[in-house]
Amino acid sequence: MEITLLTDAYESVVTDVLVVPVFEGEDVETGILQVLNAQSQGIIASLYERQELHGKANETAYLPTNLAARRVLLVGVGKAEKYTANQLRQLAGTAVRTLAKKGVTQAAILLRGDVPPQIATQALTEGAILATFEIGSYKTVDKEESKLASISIIVTPEQLTTAKEGLRVGRIVGESANLTRELVNTPSGDMTPSDMAACAEKIADATGMKIDILDEERMEALGMGALLGVARGSNEEARLIVLEYAHPDALESDAVALVGKGITFDSGGISIKPSEGMEKMKYDMAGAATVMGTMRALGYLKPKARVWGIMACAENMPSGTAIKPGDVLRSMAGKTIEVINTDAEGRLVLADAVFYAREILGAKKIVDLATLTGAVGIALGPVYAALLGTCQQMIEELIVVGRQTGENYWQLPLDEEYGEQIRSDIADVKNSAGRPAGTITGAYFIREFAGDTPWVHIDIASTAWYNENKPYISKGPSAIGVRTLTQWVLNMAN
Ligand code: BES
Ligand code: MN
Ligand code: ZN
C-alpha cells in the first residue's frame, strides 16, 4: 500500500473517500462537522439526532458528499482529551478495514487533534499497514484481496517536515511487524529453524547487518546441552541465529540483546500435548519472530545503538531420540537441569541463548520474549503480556513505551521465594514446578541463566495470537513486542 502526504485543504482533495476522525461530543453546528454536514445534505446532523453517531471509538458513517471527495467516511475516535497515538492507530485501522470491505481503491485521511504531527503520522501509517495483513495466505479460492492501493494523509504545510519523518518510521515499523506476523502465521512445515535462518540472512543482506548462524555442531562445541536437548527429538536441526546491529557511535553500556524463543513447533515432546488446538503450536516461535521483525526495523532505522537479535530455534517433537522426563541436561552455563516435563522446552532453549548473550557476546542488558506458559493466559488473558525481571528501570521503561505503542505489559513479581519451586533433588534446577505461579516459575528458571546482567522476560503466550479481530490487527498473529522494542531502542539511542 502506498502512503503519501498531502497539504491541500480537505475540501478540495480529489479522492474516492475522505476519512475524517470525529471526537466524542463534538458539535455538529460548528467547525468541520458543520461544513461536512452542509456538504452532505444534513445527514450528519440527522445521524446525531437519531443517536446513530456519537464519535465513540471505531464508530463509522459512510456518506455521499458534494466536496471534491466523492464520499466521506467518519470514524469515531473517542474524547478529544484522550486522543493519543493509540486512537490514531485504531482510526487508520478501522478506516482501512472498512474501506477495503467496500472495495475502495484510494482514500485520504485528515489529520486532526493535538497529537504532534510526527507521532500522529507514524501512528496512522502503522495502523494502516498493520490493518492490511490477512492470515489467508494459503487460500487459493475466496481469497480476500484488498484493492485499497493508496492512502494520503492530509497535513498542514507547517506539519509536512515532521510528518514525513513519522511516515518513514511508521512504514518501517508497520512492515517489520507484518513480517513477524507472516513468520508466525506460516505453518511449521514451511517455517523450520533453517527457514528462520534463511529469513534472517535476507534481512542481514538487505540492511547490512552482521549475522552468525550457529548450527548443532557449533552449539555442541559450546556445550549448549539444554537447547540441543530440546532439538534431539526432531529431524529438523536447531539453529541459534544471531543478527547484530551496531552503530559506530553507540554507547557500549547500552549494548542490548533481544532473545526470542523460536520453537517452530511445540508438540510437547514425550510429555505430548492433547491434539485439540495443537495446530496453534506453530506460533511457538513468536518470540523469535518478534526479534526478527525488531531487528529488521532497527536495520532500516539505523539508530545510535548496539543490539543483538538472538533467535533460539528448534522443533519440540517426541521420538526415540527425544529427551525424556527424568533426564538431566547440562547447560552451557554449567548448571544441570532435571527435565520434569518435556513440554517446558522454551525455558531450556532460552537458558543457553540468554547465557550466550551475556557470556560470549557481552550484552549489558537482556530482554527475552517467549510464548512460555499457558498460565499467563489464566493470569492476564489476551489483554496484557506478563513482564518480569531483575531490572526495575528496564521494566518501567518497557511498560511506558508499551502504553505509547499500544502494546500492554503488566509486571508480575519475581521474589526469591519462587526460586525454591524450581530446585531439583538430583540436579541444580528442574524445568517445571507445576501449576502454582507457572508464569513466574518459568521466568525464574531463565533468571538463573541471566545472572547479574539486567534482564527482563516478557511472556507473550496469550497475546502473540489474537482469537478475534481488533481495530487494526486481524485475528491471528499480533506481533506484540515489535513496536515496543523498536521504540525502546530508539529512546535509548537518543
Ligand atoms: N508453548 C507452550 C506455552 C503455551 C501453552 C502457549 C498453551 C500457548 C498455549 C510452552 O512450551 C508450554 O508448553 N508450557 C507449559 C509449561 C509447563 C509444562 C510447566 C505450560 O504452560 O503448560
Ligand atoms: Mn511446551
Ligand atoms: Zn512451547
Q: How do residues 146-177 score in pLDDT, each as one tens digit?
A: 899 999 999 999 999 999 999 999 999 999 99
Please report which residue ranges of 337-437 form alpha helices under DSSP H: 346-356, 375-380, 392-405
Over residues 255-309, the pLDDT tens digits come to 999 999 999 999 999 999 999 999 999 999 999 999 999 999 999 999 999 999 9
Note the Cα 123 to chain centre separation in Å.
Answer: 15
pTM score: 0.98
- Does position 144 have pLDDT exceeding 90, yes or no? no
Q: Among the atoms of ligand 1, which is closest to the Cα of residue 438?
A: 19
Q: What are the C-alpha distances in Å from 420 to residues 350, 417, 440, 445?
A: 20, 6, 12, 10
For 312, the enclosing helix (H) or strand (E) is strand 306-316
The response to whether residue 432 sits with its C-beta less than 6 Å from ligand 1 reads yes
Residue 345's pLDDT band (cuts 50, 70, 90):
very high
pLDDT given for residue 469 in this prediction: 94
Q: Among the atoms of ligand 1, which is closest to the Cα of residue 442?
A: 19
Segment 373-383 mean pLDDT: 98
Residue 447's pLDDT band (cuts 50, 70, 90):
very high
CB atoms within 10 A of CB 116: 13
* Mean pLDDT across the chain: 97
pLDDT given for residue 145 in this prediction: 82
- Does position 442 have pLDDT exceeding 90, yes or no? yes
Instruction: Return the closest-CA partner of residue 202 out of 305, 303, 295, 313.
Output: 295
Over residues 188-245, the pLDDT tens digits come to 999 999 999 999 999 999 999 999 999 999 999 999 999 999 999 999 999 999 999 9
Over residues 118-137, the pLDDT tens digits come to 999 999 999 999 999 999 99
Asked if 149 and 2 touch (Cβ cutoff 8 Å), the reply is yes
Q: Which of 266, 278, 373 to mutate to test the pocket of ligand 1 (most atoms within 8 A of CB)?
A: 373
- Does position 142 have pLDDT exceeding 90, yes or no? no
Nearest CA to ligand 1 atom 14: 373
